[in-house]
Amino acid sequence: MAFRFTVFLDRDGVINRKLPNGRFVCRWDEFEFLPDVPKAIRLLKQNQLTTILVTNQRGVSLGLYSEVELLKLHRRLSSVLRRHRAPLDGIYYCPHAAGVCACRKPGVALFQQAFRDFPGTGPSRSVVVGDSIGDMQAAHKLGCAKVLIDDGTGRIEAEAQTLGIHIEYCADSLLVAVQEYILPRSIVSG
């Protein structure tokens, strides 16, 4: 079996802009791609990297939107990315509140399911790209490389350091992370 290099992407803060004041992206008209995201994902796909979205969507458990509405948003996201020749291989989401499941990051159940669904993938040949301490904790538990999309404050990096988590790479955008860290790493471990 051929081994596949895998990139796990968080959604809010990595693929799309977060809404202010802790609000949730509930509908497509609130969804705004961060700069160069389709280009970054297209580069991953052109280099034959398995690219999977893993996202916490607590807004479902809060009743702000339904799972049906979330799936509709993700179908629209997938459609737009396909038009940019940047298809995702899979989308995994946790609709639960904190503390009630094993799938909500920093839990690792969604990643483990993806490893089962995509034979040839595994933690040692995977990178988790996120913008939160939960993303970095999940990657640390799994033994995956950790890439932080940093907001410029250094807060997440400092918190990770306090927890004994080494973040391999920090970038201000997904495109920079892909070009400067992920693609070179995938070639070296290929």
| Catalytic residue positions, numbered | 10, 12
Q: Which residues pair with 56 in a beta bridge?
A: 94
51 forms beta bridges with 7
Distant-in-sequence, close-in-space partners of 42: CB < 8 Å, separation ≥ 6: 84, 85, 86
> What CA–CA distance (Å, rounded) separates 94 from 97?
9
Tokens in use for 118? 């995509």
Residue 124: other Cβ atoms inside 10 A? 11
- For 109-118, give one letter per residue: b (16+ CB within 10 A) or e: ebbeebbeee
